Amino acid sequence: MASFVLLSLLSLPAAAQEKEKSEEWIQLFNGKDLDDWHVKIRGYKLDDNFGNTFRVEDGLLKVRYDAYDKFDARFGHIFYKKPFSNYRLRVEYRFVDEQVPGGPGWAFRNSGLMLHGESPETMAVDQDFPASIEVQLLGGKGTGTRTTANLCTPGTNVVMDDLLVLRHCTNSKSKTYHGDQWVTVEVEVRGSEVIRHIIDGEVVLEYNEPQLDESDAHAKELAQEAGGLLLDGGTISLQSESHPVDFRKVELLPLEPAVK
C-alpha cells in the first residue's frame, strides 16, 4: 500500500504535487490571535505584552508603539510555543510608519527572525535579546543599498568557510527593498549542519555549526545546561526593535534532518 501511495504521488502533475507539499506547512501565525505565542519585552515579566506591542489587526501580526512615549530600550520578542530543529521557515513582512522616539539609529526599519533561540523562560527580566541566530530584516532608507536577510549573532557564533565567525553581523547579498512593500524571506534550517537565507529562490547567505558563544556569560550558562555549544534546534521568535512592522505570514515546513 505504501508503494502504491508513493507511486500515485509521483504520478501527480507538478501543480498537484505542489499542492500536496503546501498542505504540510504549519501556520505558526493563524491570522486571528496570538494564543500560540509568548511575549517577552525587556523590563517586563514573561507574557506582559506592554502597551499591546504585539497585536493582531486586519489579519496581520503587527508590532506597534502607540503606547510608548519613548522606546527606552524596551526590545521585545514574541516566541512561538514550541521549538523546532529541521525546517523551512517562510515569513512575509513590511515596515510601515515612523520609528518610535528614542529608538536607536541602527533600528530604523529593522526587525528579525530569531532562530535556534533559548526559551523565553530562561531570559532575565532586563535581558534585551535571546541567545539565538538572527535573520536580520532591514528596509531601505529610500536611497542607497541596505541588504536584508542578514545574519546577527546575539550570544552565538557560526562557521563560514571553515572559520569561526566572531563578528556580530554579516550582510547577505540580497537587493534593497525600499518603502512599505511586502518582502518574503525563507530560511532553510538543518539542525546544527547548515542554515540558508533565501529570497526569490536565491540563497543570499549560508553558514554552518550555529553555536553558543562561550565568551558570553549567559550563553556559557546555557551551554553548560545543554551539555555543549552546538545549537541543533530551539525557539523561533519575531522582534520588536522600535520600528513598526507587519507580518502577514509566518509558516513552517518540517524537514528531515540533513544526511551526514
What confidence tens digit (pLDDT) does each residue in 25-37 have? 999 999 999 999 9
Question: What is the pLDDT at residue 257?
Answer: 82
Q: Radius of gyration (Cα) for the chain, nearest Å?
A: 19
> What pLDDT score was predicted for residue 63?
98
pLDDT at 1: 44
Strand (E) or helix (H) holding 218: helix 217-226
- Count how many Cα atoms sit within 13 Å of the Cα of residue 47 in the half-sphere of its side chain: 9
- Give the chain's residues under pLDDT 50: 1-12, 16-17, 19-20
Dist CA 52 CA 64 (whole Å): 8
Contact between 17 and 24 (Cβ < 8 Å): no
Domains of the chain: 32-254 (2.60.120.560)
pTM as predicted: 0.90
Instruction: Supply 152's cell numbers.
Output: 546577527
